[in-house]
Structures are given as C-alpha cells and as structure tokens.
Amino acid sequence: MRTILLTLALLVGIALIPPAALAQKGKGQAKKYPNAVEGDFLIKDFRFAKGETLPELRMHYRTFGTPRRDNKGVVRNAVLILHATTGNSGNFLGGIFAGQLFGKGQPLDAERYYLILPDSIGHGKSSKPSDGLHARFPRYGYHDMLTAQHRLLTEHLKVDHLRLVMGTSMGGMHTWLWGQKYPDMMDALLPLASLPEQISGRNRMWRKMISDVIRTDPDWKDGEYDKPPRSMRVAMGLMAFTSSSPVRRQKAAPTLKAADEMLERSVRRPLDANNMLYAIEASWDYDPAPGLKKIRAPLLAINFADDLINPPELGVLEREIKNVPHGRAIVIPESDRTYGHGTHTLAAVWKEHLVKLLQESEGGSAQR
C-alpha cells in the first residue's frame, strides 16, 4: 500500500520519492513492450498562439508497438496518451498504468496497438523554459500544446488517424480539445479527471496562488534565479494540498508529526520554478464548453468522487456531457481503491470502462 501511495503521489505532481528512481523503474517497464522507441521531433520556426516564435521546438516522445494501416493506407491502431501538468510520458510506464494496460492481452496491448506518449511543450524532455530561455520562453497555452502534438503525429510519425485519444488531468483537458479541434481524426476519446469548462472557481484560485507566489518572490528574479526560489515550497505545498483525497491523507498521516513529514517530502520535489510557473499558467486558453457539439467520436469522461480539483458536486460534467453528441460520463465512487485526483493513473480502478469504450467504438469513423 505504501509503495502505491508514494508512486501515485509523484504521478499527480507531488514527489514523495525521487523522480530519478521512478525514471529508472520506468525504463525497466518500457523494455517489456515491443518496438519501444524514444525520440525527438524538431519543429522549425514554431509559432505560438500569442504570436511569439521559437526557432526550433523539440517534441520528445515514446512509442510502443507498430502502426498498422488499412488498404487505403490509414493507420487504424494508434493510441495517443497525454500526461498531467508538470508530468511527462515516463509517468505512464510504471506498474499502476502500463502494467495494467500495455501487456499482452491487456486493454491497450502494445502488440496490437501503436501507443504514442509525447512530452507536451514545457514538460519532460520537450522544449521548456529551463532549457535556457527561462522567463523569456514563449508563453504557451493548451492549444499550442495540441498543435505540437498534432504535428508530431502527422509530420513525424506519419499517423493520420487515432483509434483512441486519452489523457489524465491536463491530458484529459487536452482530450476534450482534441475531440473538437480534430473531430474526424479519432474513433474514441477518454478524458480522465477533468472538466469540460474554462478553469474557474477554486480550480483557478489555487493555480493563480501558485503563479502569484512565484512571480512576487524576490528570489525568482524575473526568472533568472540561480537557486530554487523559496516560494517553491509554498507552490509545491498547494499542489500537495489540492491533489489528494482528505480521507487518504488522514490515513497516511494520522498524527501531527506524520502530516508534517509528508508535507516536507512533498515540497522537496526538484522541480524548476519557471517550468512549473509556465505549466500552471498554460491553462489560460482552455475553454472547451462552446465547442462540445463539434465532437463526433464516442467520448467517455471518467471522474472520481474524491477528486478535490474536479469535485462532482459542481455538476459541471453532468451538465456539459449532454452537449457531446456521443458522450457519456462516469463518476467513480470513493472507495479503498481511489486516491483522489491521482486515481486517473490507477488504471485498475477504471480500465473496465476503457475496455467497454473500445468495444463500443470498434469500426470507428466508418460507422459515423
């Protein structure tokens, strides 16, 4: 149980174990799957929505399996999997996600599907502020991230169709946007732990608090700091506070001393302040609600009852899913298997619904 909790904490943006340790574990897991490839795609003169350009944008990615084309040359087995804020594609390689999905006979068997896991702009080994530009890095948004993902697929990997688009948290929000920006490109959509509306209310407030505490910190030095700004302790504490279930937190830290120790582990994550600032602020252009009717593929949204970031009592998912032509929504009840927002990476909790979605969308766009 402790191992699952510690691993999950890192996947939702809270480090209770060193990222290097998880990376090593991920490398071992990756070797299990066929045709594992890790590479970079360099996009020349990438133009961002705000008008800024980058002479060379690097998109890092991982793939497993082999693309299979029909008699018209269209790829039919590609699955795009998108990660959470401050995460990267390597977060999916552990036993709680890939170990439940990518193996032989499992729902996303890498011998059957062509699995594509990109690092989004500002994350992982893709271009990001810490590469050298710091706070002079172009101010990116979610639509920029989608454009880069699409170009990686179509220009570099030569994938023109997706069997499934799925994502966790920020990746879930990207999934809603994929469905309306490229409505004929996929057979099915699975957003996890996300809401199809503009970032607002408490969700906006904690993000703004992180942004403000970093930007107003004298140690930040307009992004040119030479050591981590002290405000990162507050920023990481806010991430820890929002992304787990109160019940799980209480069980894991039932005393004052245990709670203080857990918080201390959480705030020590070696995350670059500029990278975190940009990632938190990137949701400025996220507002999928007006375009939900454009989504043509079957969509299954899965949220969790103990998710403090997307609490079900808001009623947003239930209201907006009615605007998706082939949309359904499930809120999984709190139980001893759920861990708040981070349940999005615990595939054992929700994979049966993924299986059903794949069955129902078999045949894909040919049926629509």
pLDDT in tens, 335-356: 999 999 999 999 999 999 999 9
CA separation for the pair 175, 228 (Å, rounded)? 33
CA separation for the pair 253, 237 (Å, rounded)? 15
Range 133-157 average pLDDT: 98
Roughly what angle, to the nearest 10 degrees, separates helices 142-151 and 170-181? 70
In which residue are the tokens 């996300």 written?
Answer: 194
Question: How would residue 18 be classed by pLDDT, with cut points 50, 70 and 90?
Answer: very low
For 139-232, list the strands marked E by DSSP. 164-168, 189-192
Whether 12 has a pLDDT exceeding 80, the answer reads no
From 237, 222, 201, 235, select the one nearest 309 (Cα to Cα).
Answer: 201
Mean pLDDT lowest among 173-187, 192-206, 255-269: 255-269
Hey, what are 300's tokens? 């299954």
Report pTM: 0.92
For the ranges 14-18, 104-108, 264-268, the maximum mean pLDDT occurs at 104-108
Please report, for the domain that includes residue 160, its CATH number: 3.40.50.1820
In which residue are the tokens 């004298």 written?
Answer: 218
Whether 78 has a pLDDT exceeding 70, the answer reads yes
Classify burial at 315, counting beta carbons within 10 Å of its beta carbon; exposed 0-12, middle 13-18, buried 19 or more. exposed
pLDDT at 365: 61
Q: Which domain holds residue 304?
A: 2-367
Whether 51 has a pLDDT exceeding 80, the answer reads yes
Q: State how many domains the chain has.
A: 1
Whether 26 has a pLDDT exceeding 80, the answer reads no
Range 188-207 average pLDDT: 96
Hey, what are 221's tokens? 């030095």
Cβ atoms of 82 and 166 within 8 Å: the answer is yes
Cβ atoms of 114 and 107 within 8 Å: the answer is no
For the chain, what percent of residues have pLDDT higher than 90?
82
For residue 277, report the phi and psi dihedrals to the nearest 5 degrees: -55, -50
